[in-house]
Structure 1
Amino acid sequence: MFVAWKKQGIVLFSFDGAQQRVYRHETVPSANLLSQQDLSKGTASLKLKSSEAEDGNYSCEVTELNREGETKVDLRTVTGRQFDFMESVVISVLLFLIVVFYWAQIGVIALKCETVHKNKTYVAVGCAIFTVLAVIAVVLFIQGGNITINKVGLGFVVLPAVILMVLQYYIFKIVLVDVTRKGYILIGLQSFGFVVALVGFALCISACPSELLSVVIAGLAVMAFEDLLALLYMYTSCSRMKDHQTPRKAVEEPLNDAKGVMLE
């Protein structure tokens, strides 16, 4: 098998399978086959440093015995923003809403639930950590000019979201002592949203330029909706617990007064 990569008729790289001989043009000293073992399977891709890859029309010619074929590739360098600006704004807004809904749940627990539980501190710390990561994500993700930084920012948007499912579980444990069926349904809905966002992130990283942010947006939207439902669920649950405790105090006060009268 013989493989030759050319640019505008000039051979940049060639591989002679019969003699196991490799030729590289002086302008691309890092050029090499992506996988020599997979060459017999039809993979004749070329890899080289990005600093040596100039924009232009490339062609790959493969000859095997009496068969030959040619593939043409148009290489263009992507500069500036990797992701669409408006979609980036939507993702940032959804991330902001998720953070707000979680802090609101913690606020509801602090104001309406009188029971003191050490896990409250753990939940607050976990939420604070996620908030810091969310701020870093937005700063890295929404700015333009560097594709790698944008991808890292998107990773900070999606990957730390796994913390939210743990936080949600502990929030339910604090208020309800034991997680109910509704609680598990809400956590399952959040997990589904996370998986969708994670798949979208994987697709966005592999695509260039990215056109699959809508999948990430869909996953984050499901998570934000679940957080809103969880906030309402926590509010109603804490209100019922407080209402249930109020009559007990009303009964205890007359009893205490009666006891005082009897002592006199």
Structure 2
Amino acid sequence: MWALGTWVLLGAVCAGSAQLQFNVIKSVEQTICNKTVTLPCIVTNLAQNNTKVMFVKWKLEKKEFFSFDGSNGKFDRNVNFSSAMLGSLQNLKLGIASLTISKTQAVPGNYSCEVAESNREGETVIELIYRIVSWFTPVENILIILSMVLAILIYWIQLAVTGSKFETTLLKIGLFIAGVVITVFAVVGFSLLISDEFKPENQIGLGLIVLPAVILVPPQYFLLKIVRENNLSFAIGVIVLESLGYLIAVIGFGLCITACRPKNGAVVIAGLAIMALTAFVGLIYAILIGSSKKEQHPRKAVEEPLNG
């Protein structure tokens, strides 16, 4: 009886040792930003740590597309997965049979990894999920567009406020054309920037928003010069601050343009926000100075008859 119990126990132990165990990872995500996809397959209880007694097989939806035979060091790949490759054989000795595939060949679905070591074997299943990602986050898109819209809107308001005071029609026409050009660029840029998934058009859109924004800087000087010709220090200060905002926005654009998922969107937003805020200060200044001039003219008109 005792011998029978021992035999059953030893059988159970042997049966358990014949099964390879895996570090279970249920799924991995793939996005358009991935250059390659790595499907994890890690055995945790290898005994011999010898690739010559190992066999690795990968399947997609139960159809084999990749295998490695350690006895002869031979790899076998399906033509549709020609980029599939294991890590180093040194890692395979440690139980790492993860597979790397190029993003163009990585098809979403259920992948199974089968590993055998001598007379022991095991299998794990990993689901590859494709996740759609936009370039900027929705909040960043909103803030970029809002900052630029405010900068352009303030420009048009300031142009309307001071437009009647232009001495030359040519200057008025030039400032009007500048407003139209930057507005067209921005609208096209907005339409290209926003999309559900990252596309190269997003980068073009950001460029059409940020780079032409320099058009708003020189007209600001002329608009403020009309308001107060004798004191241009304020106008120069506004131009310097607005130029600084533009420079920050361009630096942010340069940092973002090469990234699939930009981490410096805040730099672009900060630059455009400085431009909008500076333009707003200029608008308030123009309104206040214009109002004070209007109040002074009636007083002079009343004082002249009295003095006469």
* Percent of residue pairs identical: 31
Match of 2:144 in 1: 91
Match of 2:219 in 1: 167
CA pair 114-252 structure 1, distance change in 2 beyond 3 A: farther
CA contact (8 A) 1:127 1:167 kept: no
CA contact (8 A) 2:255 2:264 kept: yes
Match of 1:82 in 2: 135
CA contact (8 A) 1:90 1:217 kept: yes
Match of 1:102 in 2: 155
C-alpha distance in structure 1 between counterparts of 2:300 and 2:166, whole Å:
15
CA contact (8 A) 2:132 2:196 kept: no
C-alpha distance in structure 2 between counterparts of 1:128 and 1:116, whole Å:
21
CA pair 253-127 structure 1, distance change in 2 beyond 3 A: farther
Which aligned pairs between 1:230-245 and structure 2 lie closer than 5 A? 230-245=282-297
1:242 Cα shift?
A: 2.4
Which aligned pairs between 1:244-263 and structure 2 lie closer than 5 A? 244-251=296-303
Match of 2:124 in 1: none
Across the aligned residues of Structure 1 and Structure 2, the Cα RMSD in angstroms comes to: 3.3
1:108 Cα shift?
A: 1.4
1:122 Cα shift?
A: 1.6
Letter matched to residue 91 of structure 1:
I
CA contact (8 A) 2:143 2:269 kept: yes
C-alpha distance in structure 1 between counterparts of 2:106 and 2:216, whole Å:
43
Letter matched to residue 211 of structure 2:
L
CA pair 162-145 structure 1, distance change in 2 beyond 3 A: same
The 10-residue stretch of structure 1 (101-110 or 221-230) with the greater mean CA deviation from structure 2? 101-110
Match of 2:272 in 1: 220
C-alpha distance in structure 1 between counterparts of 2:166 and 2:265, whole Å:
42
CA contact (8 A) 2:166 2:172 kept: no
C-alpha distance in structure 1 between counterparts of 2:281 and 2:259, whole Å:
34
1:215 Cα shift?
A: 0.7
TM-score normalised to structure 1 length = 0.63
Match of 2:88 in 1: none
1:253 Cα shift?
A: 6.4
CA contact (8 A) 1:123 1:167 kept: yes
Match of 2:240 in 1: 188
CA contact (8 A) 2:225 2:232 kept: no
1:55 Cα shift?
A: 5.1
SS of the aligned residue for 2:294 comes to helix
Count of residues in Structure 1 that have an aligned counterpart in Structure 2? 192
Larger Rg over CA atoms:
2
Q: Does 2:192 match 1:151?
A: no
1:162 Cα shift?
A: 0.6
Which of residues 231, 250, 256 is equivalent to 1:198?
250
Q: Does 2:168 match 1:117?
A: yes
CA pair 123-78 structure 1, distance change in 2 beyond 3 A: farther
**Hey, which of these two has a bigger chunk of helix by percent?**
1
Deviation per CA, 1:79-137: give whole Å up to 9, x if none. 65222122101111111111111111012114xx5554322222122112111111111
The 10-residue stretch of structure 1 (98-107 or 243-252) with the greater mean CA deviation from structure 2? 243-252
CA pair 52-80 structure 1, distance change in 2 beyond 3 A: closer
C-alpha distance in structure 2 between counterparts of 1:240 and 1:190, whole Å:
25
Which aligned pairs between 1:30-109 and structure 2 lie closer than 5 A? 54=105, 80-109=133-162
C-alpha distance in structure 2 between counterparts of 1:115 and 1:208, whole Å:
46
C-alpha distance in structure 2 between counterparts of 1:191 and 1:197, whole Å:
10
